[in-house]
Amino acid sequence: MNRLLFSIFCVLSGFIAKAQQNDSVMIRRIANEIFVNGKAYGNLHTLTKTVGGRMNGSPQTYKAEAWAQKALQDAGAEKVWLQQCTIPHWVRGGKEVVKMITGKKETPLNVLALGNSVGTGTKGITAPVILVNSFDELEQRKNEVKGKIVFYNYKFNSTFVHTFYSYVDAVRYRGAGASRAAKYGAVAVLVRSMTHSTDNNPHTGAMGYNDSFPKIPALAVGLWDADKLAAAISQDKKVQLYVKTNAHTLPDTIGYNVIGEIKGSEFPDQYITVGGHLDSWDPAEGAHDDGTGCVHAIEVLRVFKALHYQPKHSLRVVLFTDEENRGSGATKYAQEAKEKKETHIFAMESDAGGFTPRGFSFSMAPEKLEKIRAWIPLLQEYGVFEFQQGFGGADTEPLNNEFGTPVAELLPDSQRYFDYHHSSNDVFENVNKRELELGAINMTALIYLVDQYGL
């Protein structure tokens, strides 16, 4: 290297070192603000305890939208507005009942109807049950299915370290199990809950019907009762089930994305979006799924205002409607962005729980991701040590599909998430304040870095 090049190299390295030092100071300020004056935990308390579960079309949907507007205003959003969406409206219609009938004995099982499923009518259905461990077994035994209730006893795979892989592996039984059984004449299905929790709470979630086959009721059963039913079937081939659910679907209704914004100082027409989803299932309060994501996103905006950091790009917090069912909030947000010819440079969401952060999952060009891995040392102190290529999040992916916007999702430790997910355990008390705050710190820090340096 000649002397001139060497001098340029030294000056540039100096700049880079200086920038990193400034960034590390800024990220420390972000962390201190959240640890000392953080509002995420308090916001989550209000959302979960005064609004509660927020199923599409429920009165809580509209209470949550009002809460979100106020929370964004209080956080310092310069503009807050609602974006109207058409959302599905499924109702549980009261407590569902499933009883295992062996001889003259009736044993109630802990169950929840699946989202979008149909009911049985007021009398319910009594039919013999057939246990299958997989779709392969269903196909092998398809001639035995007619007139029966199919019990999918597919177990959550415990060998995956990252539990979302177990979920993706098992959730097809919840999503498609009813129609696959109805194809062979089944009258209802019962699905082992998607969890490896040690309790007996059933876990609900969305399912869908294939219009080519009759729509039959579908319910999830808690793990203890799934094992109890499996044991009974192994001893007595004549086990029957009584099933009664009042679940039904009403016409589509209106829901809103709630959006808060601060204008960028240099590139006001270029947007960075950060979000979570406002809707939840109904057995509990939607704390980890996805109250924590909503309060994380609000906290990013609040911290920028509190630290008097005016971002170069416009920052939008979007609390999406209807993630759990049809994703209509996310679709609408990307659609309107396209109509308005907006420029979206980055979007991030938090929808994997309020647990200790470990990393971020990105959907973006590999060479860009490689470049920003240089930021990891800045976040390591706060728990993030991994930027992986992968899924960028259900609510941000439409921006990626529409514009190629790089998108990311916070990756917290996943070990406890499916203990709570879509069950009666998903309550405020199961969220740890410090872990929640660490998520907000890393999200704010990453958005700060993207705002400073782009992608």
Site map (CB under 5 A) of Zn ion, residues 399-418, x = contact: --------------------
Is position 279 an interface residue for Zn ion (rule: CB under 5 A)? no
Is position 289 an interface residue for Zn ion (rule: CB under 5 A)? yes
Residue 404 in tokens: 């190629």
Single out the segment in contact with Zn ion by CB under 5 A; choices: 6-14, 287-295, 336-344, 446-454: 287-295
Site map (CB under 5 A) of Zn ion, residues 172-211, x = contact: ----------------------------------------
Is position 290 an interface residue for Zn ion (rule: CB under 5 A)? yes
The order of strands in the sheet holding 218-221 is 105-109, 97-102, 240-244, 125-132, 149-152, 188-192, 218-221, 111-113
Smallest gap from Cβ 410 to Zn ion, in A, equals 12
Smallest gap from Cβ 224 to Zn ion, in A, equals 25
Count CB atoms within 10 A of the CB of residue 107: 14
Single out the segment in contact with Zn ion by CB under 5 A; choices: 247-255, 283-291, 421-429, 439-447: 283-291
Site map (CB under 5 A) of Zn ion, residues 232-271, x = contact: ----------------------------------------
Smallest gap from Cβ 285 to Zn ion, in A, equals 13
C-alpha span between 319 and 77 (Å, rounded): 13
Please work out the total of residues on this chain that contact Zn ion, with binding judged by CB under 5 A.
Answer: 3
Site map (CB under 5 A) of Zn ion, residues 330-359, x = contact: ---------------------x--------
* H-state helical runs in 183-214: none
Site map (CB under 5 A) of Zn ion, residues 24-53, x = contact: ------------------------------
Given the residues 65, 285, 299, 323, select the one marked as catalytic: 323
Residue type, 317: V
Is residue 345 within a helix (H) or strand (E), and if so which, with residue range? strand 343-349
Nearer to Zn ion, 220 or 232 (CB): 220
Residues near 342 by beta carbon (within 8 Å), at least 6 away in sequence: 269, 271
Smallest gap from Cβ 288 to Zn ion, in A, equals 8
* Longest pairwise C-alpha distance within the chain: 94
Single out the segment in contact with Zn ion by CB under 5 A; choices: 117-125, 290-298, 326-334, 337-345: 290-298
Residue type, 260: G
Nearer to Zn ion, 260 or 293 (CB): 293
Nearer to Zn ion, 260 or 329 (CB): 329
C-alpha span between 442 and 455 (Å, rounded): 17
* H-state helical runs in 128-279: 135-140, 163-182, 223-235
Cα angle vertex 9, ends 5, 10, to 5°?
Answer: 120
Decide: 207 and 174 in contact? Cβ < 8 Å: yes
Task: Please report where in the chains the tokens 């196909």 appear, as a residue.
Answer: 139
Strands 188-192 and 105-109 turn out to be: unpaired
Decide: 179 and 209 in contact? Cβ < 8 Å: yes
Q: Is 323 a catalytic residue?
A: yes
Per DSSP, the three-state class of 103 is coil
Nearer to Zn ion, 124 or 291 (CB): 291
Smallest gap from Cβ 133 to Zn ion, in A, equals 28
Smallest gap from Cβ 380 to Zn ion, in A, equals 27
* H-state helical runs in 307-426: 328-339, 366-372, 376-380, 397-403, 417-420
Nearer to Zn ion, 281 or 448 (CB): 281
Nearer to Zn ion, 261 or 289 (CB): 289
For 55: left if phi > 0, alpha if psi spans -120 to 50, otherwise beta; the answer is: beta
Smallest gap from Cβ 91 to Zn ion, in A, equals 20
What is the binding site for Zn ion (CB under 5 A)? 289-290, 351
Q: What are the residue numbers of the active site?
A: 323
